[in-house]
Amino acid sequence: MTALAPEGARRNGAVQLARFGAGPLAYLDGARELQGDILSARLGSQTVHLVRKPELIHAALVNEDWPPISRGRLMGLDKWYSGGLILTEGAEHHRQRDDLWKPLLADPRTLEVARERTERWLDTWTNAPMELFSAFRSHVWSIDWASLTGEEMAPELLRAQEAGVAALVWLLGPMGPRRWGSPPAARTRAARKRLDAAIDAAIAARRAQPRDDLLSKLVALESDDQLVQATFKQWLGADQLMGIFCWGLYLLTANPEVEARWHASLDHGDEYTIRVVKETLRLYPPVWSFFREVTAAYELGGHTIPAGDLMVLSPYFTHRDETVWEDPLRFDPDRWDSKPPEGAYFPFSAGPYECHAHRLAMQEAVLILAMVGRRFRFKPMSEDPPRPMATGAIVPKSGLRMRPLARR
């Protein structure tokens, strides 16, 4: 039976929305005391239904029916992307997935570029403190840009990409698309224009003369330059590896016994690093919640979600749910000796609309984290733990400063 939020929560939708907006992760943590397979509440004028039972989560993800399930407010991101895989459904989504993304994701050049650039980057490290999230974000985007174009990502383009990622957060809000045309968003629009111009020039150059890079492959696969541009930007925007590195290194330093075991394992293969990455993704998934608008009454495990409501599938909530995981807040890579139940773990979503880059993301995360760990350990610059904040991803509020210390 669906567990409704307390009467006050349903009546005071504006109050609940304010509380949710002030801290979505804390709001989700507060919902853990409720009982039921689906937890319902009123946020402003919108009724939302958080699916809690893993079996139902799996059913909703794997058997997604579009419609009545739709992307809803995700379409606000079109102001930045202008099309592309994450903004399509049905046959066109599957065409882009199979014809454009799969060939790019299978290309070995991304991992080759990641290895070479990471080695060079680590050579520049000293024992000076670093803000890890921004440092790894710049590094990850530079890998993406070099894989696509074979070139360096200019500083002004890096800043434009930062502006775009920041905009993705407010574009998902109820007034996001309207805000796009407002004077306060002028800098974001200028950033898009700057980034689009650079990508369009790169596309035109490869139309004229193909090169040995992923963009040339993409141009050969797709005749629509606007879709090529959108795919290029989504390749950048979907990359959330910086969160894995930032939170993973924090969790390792906070658990010295696990850190020592990880360091000892690095000369004997990647098996333990894979567990570390999976456990990091459990506690700090790259997307904290997936929101799906229901355009017609949707039946899920004997429950009916009415048309116009939102269905919420939250990796953050489920991955920390004590009804699903034993001692869920403990960082324990050994829990991956066994496979969790279906629907209990979905950091990249699942089913036909899952993140199709998840295999490459795992490979790249394991590669780079192991390279870092072979050469460095880290000392936090504050005794206070970083505060997770929900934006488009889960990021450390005020960053995460740590000092790298050479191991060998």
**What's the pLDDT score for residue 172?**
86
Interatomic CA distance for residues 50 and 36, integer angstroms: 10
CA distances from 136 to 112, 202, 338, 384, 401 (A): 17, 25, 30, 21, 12
* pLDDT tens figures, 358-381: 999 999 999 999 999 999 999 999
Per the structure, how many domains does the chain have?
1
**What's the pLDDT score for residue 4?**
46
Query: What is the end-to-end Cα distance of the chain in Å, rounded?
Result: 58
Contact 403, 379 (CB under 8 A): yes
* pLDDT tens figures, 252-287: 999 999 999 999 999 999 999 999 999 999 999 999
**What's the pLDDT score for residue 67?**
63
Give the helix ranges, DSSP H, for 172-213. Answer: 176-180, 186-208
- Note if the pTM is more than 0.85: yes
Residues forming beta bridges with residue 290, ordered by sequence position? 313
**What's the pLDDT score for residue 154?**
97
Residue 379 — φ and ψ, nearest 5°?
-120, 120
**What's the pLDDT score for residue 6?**
43
**What's the pLDDT score for residue 65?**
63
Give the CATH number, domain containing residue 154: 1.10.630.10
Which regions of the chain are under pLDDT 50?
1-2, 4-9
Interatomic CA distance for residues 163 and 154, integer angstroms: 14
Q: What is the DSSP string of 226-273?
A: HHHHHHHHHHHHT--HHHHHHHHHHHHHH-HHHHHHHHHHGGG-SHHH
Three-class SS state of 87: helix
Interatomic CA distance for residues 60 and 68, integer angstroms: 11
Interatomic CA distance for residues 203 and 108, integer angstroms: 21
Interatomic CA distance for residues 57 and 315, integer angstroms: 10
Domain that holds residue 297: 3-406
Contact 147, 211 (CB under 8 A): no
